[in-house]
Structure 1
Amino acid sequence: MTRGGARTNVAIREAAASLFYEHGYEATSLRTVASEVGIQVGSLYNHISGKEELLTDIMVSVMDELLEAVNNALVSVDGSALDRFKAAVDCHIRYHAEHARETFIGNTELRALSNGDLELVLAKRAEYERLLQKLIKDVAKETGADILDAKLQTYSILAQGAHVSSWYKPGGPKSLDKVVNTYIKMALRQLGVENAG
């Protein structure tokens, strides 16, 4: 692929993400995406097979990047299960705040995916859920915390990240570090280890 082709692919994905975020997947046409990029709608098909491919690409990329970021954060922590959990929550919240547009799309447009694409995205989400659930169980084992339901507590932490993507704005009244630290403390309290934060 030429550099121009690669730049066009990036521009198409960026335009689609922006339009899906602003107007929703269903309300966004390929004609609108093409217009945003400055190409003819027929030219889009030199780069994509259809609109769903764009949505799937955004969702898969979010999960791949999030898994990689959390795994890198865990590798960099040479400490306790509690330290690893805090690093994962930090990364989870920070990623959702810094990639609000893409994570918002990933959390609101699942219904638009067809079976094969939906299965792919759900498999990646399940992998991420298992990772967080294991970290919660490791914290319980290490600290003696009484975990009520590791699966539900995992869902709670996942929802907190999704929620951050809907309201956090850089330059707003709370710094990202303050938001992240508060969410870490809330997650620790939820696990019954509030004095560890």
Structure 2
Amino acid sequence: MTLDPYAARPAWRDYGRSDLPIPLAAALSAFADHGYHGTSVREIAGRAGLSVPGLYHHYPSKQSMLQGLLEMSMDDLLWRSEQSIAAAGPEPIDRLDAVVTTLLEFHMYRREQAFIGSSEIRSLDADYRPVYTAKRRRQQQMVDEIVVDGAQRGVFVTGDPYDTGRAITTMCVGVSIWYRPDGRLSPDELVDRWGRIARDTVGYVGDSTRPEITSPQIVRHRDQGDAP
């Protein structure tokens, strides 16, 4: 899976400035630094340049800020995944490349949001948690459907498509923990290399009409910002 650095990027690959409202951007920053339970409303208000009553005018509680932040983040990821898969066409390998690219780029370019989205599920109120986890299941279902389709067509050689799909998603989600912009691999290089790993994971057998994928050089050292 080789990305053309000169090709115009579609909307689902466009990661400009985050459009989070100022209170949610402040909450994200504070949660990333101190965790949900270690962050006070006063801390969020200070980062947002608001008084505590002014912050409550926008969001009535710290919990509502966490919910709003996770809701916007997950909706963004779902939209990008749906768009990328639809644009990829009917072939399972093209759809796999698309959704893996989406997951990897989201967890690089929106890594704080992605990290909080995974680590603070435990902090969600019980009545909202099922709403949020349903969105995460929908994201996983997109990956599963592609892997199952490829296995049924015989282009993916895996006897456990659902476990394989979960392994690929887990691999991509984990990027938000260790990725750093100044690391050894650029975003496009990381997408290309880990996209190949995803293909290997599903056991993609290829076909005669597609170009060969050259195995990347094995790197035996670890720089700051690389995966553990």
Q: With structure 2 as the length reference, what TM-score do the two structures score? A: 0.78
1:25 aligns with 2:36: yes
- Is contact 1:82-1:139 (8 Å) kept? yes
Q: How far apart are residue 194 of structure 1 and its match? A: 6.3
Aligned-partner residue type, residue 193 of structure 1: Y
2:124 matched to 1:110?
no
Q: Which residue of 2 aligns with 1:94?
A: 105
Matches within 5 A, 1:56-95: 56-95=67-106
- State the 4+ residue runs in structure 1 displaced beyond 6 angstroms: none
Instruction: Give the match's secondary structure for 1:27.
Output: coil
1:155 equivalenced with 2:166 (yes/no): yes
Shift of 1:79: 4.6
Match of 1:126? Answer: 137
State the distance in 1 between where 2:75 and 2:173 align: 16
Contact 1:19 / 1:28 at 8 angstroms: preserved in 2?
yes
The counterpart of 1:40, out of the listed 38, 44, 51, is: 51
List runs of 5+ in structure 1 lacking aligned partners.
1-8
Q: For 1:103-138, what per-residue CA distance to the aligned partner results, in whole angstroms no more than 9, with x for missing partners?
A: 000010110011121011111011111111001111
Aligned partner letter, 1:166: I
Is contact 2:81-2:99 (8 Å) kept?
yes
State how far apart, in whole Å, the 2-side matches of 1:55 and 1:155 are.
25
Displacement of 1:43 = 1.6
What's the Cα RMSD here? Answer: 1.6
Cα deviation for residue 144 of structure 1 reads 4.2
What residue identity is the alignment partner of 1:96? Answer: H
Q: Offset of 1:173 from its aligned partner? A: 1.6
- Which amino acid is 2:127 matched to? G
SS of the equivalent of 1:116 reads coil
Give the one of 177, 185, 195 matched to 1:166.
177
Tell me how far apart the structure 2 counterparts of residues 194 and 78 of structure 1 sit (CA, whole Å).
19
The corresponding residue for 1:49 is 60
Query: Given that residues 34 and 40 in structure 1 are in contact (C-alpha distance below 8 angstroms), is that contact kept between their aligned partners in structure 2?
Result: yes
Q: 1:90, CA displacement in angstroms?
A: 0.8
Identity %, equivalent residues: 27
What residue is the counterpart of 2:8 in the other structure?
none
Unaligned runs of 5+ residues in structure 2 are 1-19, 207-211, 214-228
Structure 2 counterpart of 1:141? 152
Task: Please state how far the C-alpha of 1:154 moved relative to its aligned partner.
Answer: 2.1
**Greater fraction helix:** 1
Q: Which SS does the other structure have where 2:57 is aligned?
A: coil
Deviation for aligned residue 1:44:
1.4
Equivalent residues in 2 for 1:182-197, closer than 5 Å:
182-193=193-204, 197=213
